[in-house]
Amino acid sequence: MATESKKAVPLTCHGHSRPVPHINFSSLINDEEYYLISACKDGNPMLRDGITGDWIGTFLGHKGAVWQARLSSDATLAATAAADFSAKVWDTNTGEALHTLQHEHIVRAIAFPNQPHPQILATGGLEKKLRIFDLSRSSSTSSPVDGTSSSTSPPATSFEIGPGVHTGAIKSIVWGSDRNILITASEDKKIRWWDLRTQRTIGEFGVEGVLGTCELDNTSADGVLSVAAGKSVYFFDAARPGGLIKSVKTPYEVASVALHSGQRRFVTGGSSQSDTWVRVWDFDAEKELETNKGHHGPIWSISFSPDGKLYATGSEDGTIKLWKFTTGPYGLWR
């Protein structure tokens, strides 16, 4: 990573009024554009241009904090998990809520398989249940204003995977390149690999400390899973159940981590009000290379863009920042 990229001032994306617990990029669209969605405790997830951070629209309908938000690979659909005991699936072109999926408790995690126009969805949360919804078996539509399903439309069918296995709330769900394999991270400090064909775990790994983010590397097809927990970050081969590549102990409590495989760098975010730095590390040497100041609260989520030329951070301070990670002009850094 060249010195030039370190000197670039980050772009700040305003609009949210509460903390931002999660951000997610789409895949590359037409080889040169991509999108960013942000979950927020103000209950209003937002869609943005991924390169510039420009606001595109807000999905209206949740009546509680939105804990996680994801885009389908082609950015045609968005999915959100919220404290109002529901998950929603949205049309990103119209802002319409296509499905409202009711739960019995707060929904913290949500995931699409990595494919265009996905017809299934996974959710998890304080129910401690991993649920799979078949969206193709429901024609329910919702108003983009109130987000409630039509009373005459059938709900999406769902089933639970591994009842009783999770003993803590599910905080994150990741769908790898194999659509039959799901990965969950829960507050019982366990990372679990699930085979949807057998509906059983095929791998498990225990982490130390409070679990933070659990996300796949956006910048490569290698399928490296990055996990933040306590003062450590863990890197797994997502396709190899329980396959730890390495763990790195840091001097800091870490809330979030994202890996750039090609650059052999990873970025971490602090988890306390006294540590609001964004730190860039050398993956091989396990050394801190730079610290970036800009946020005024813990950094709950970090993600690299699909082209690897910037990364985004979402914070307790209610802002999203885009940080340049390439040499030469890019986006609004011109």
Q: What is the rounded end-to-end Cα distance, in angstroms, of the chain? A: 18
Pair 217, 223: CB distance under 8 Å: yes
Return the bridge partners of 97, or none: 90
Q: What is the pLDDT of residues 253-305, one digit of tens each?
A: 999 999 999 999 999 999 988 899 999 999 999 999 999 999 999 999 999 99
Domain ranges of the chain: 3-324
Give residue 149's pLDDT. Answer: 41
Which CATH entry fits the domain spanning 3-324: 2.130.10.10, 3.30.470.20, 3.40.50.880, 3.40.50.300? 2.130.10.10
CA torsion sign, 169 to 172 to 177 to 179?
A: positive
Distances (CA, A) of 118 to 42, 156, 183, 231, 265: 27, 14, 17, 36, 31
Listed in sequence order, the residues at least 6 apart from 182 whose beta carbon sits closer than 8 Å to its beta carbon are 111, 122, 130, 161, 173, 174, 175, 176, 193, 194, 196
Q: Which amino acid is at 198?
A: T
Per the structure block, which two tokens stand in for 43?
């209950």
Q: What is the pLDDT of residues 75-121, one digit of tens each?
A: 999 999 999 999 999 999 999 999 999 999 999 999 999 888 889 99
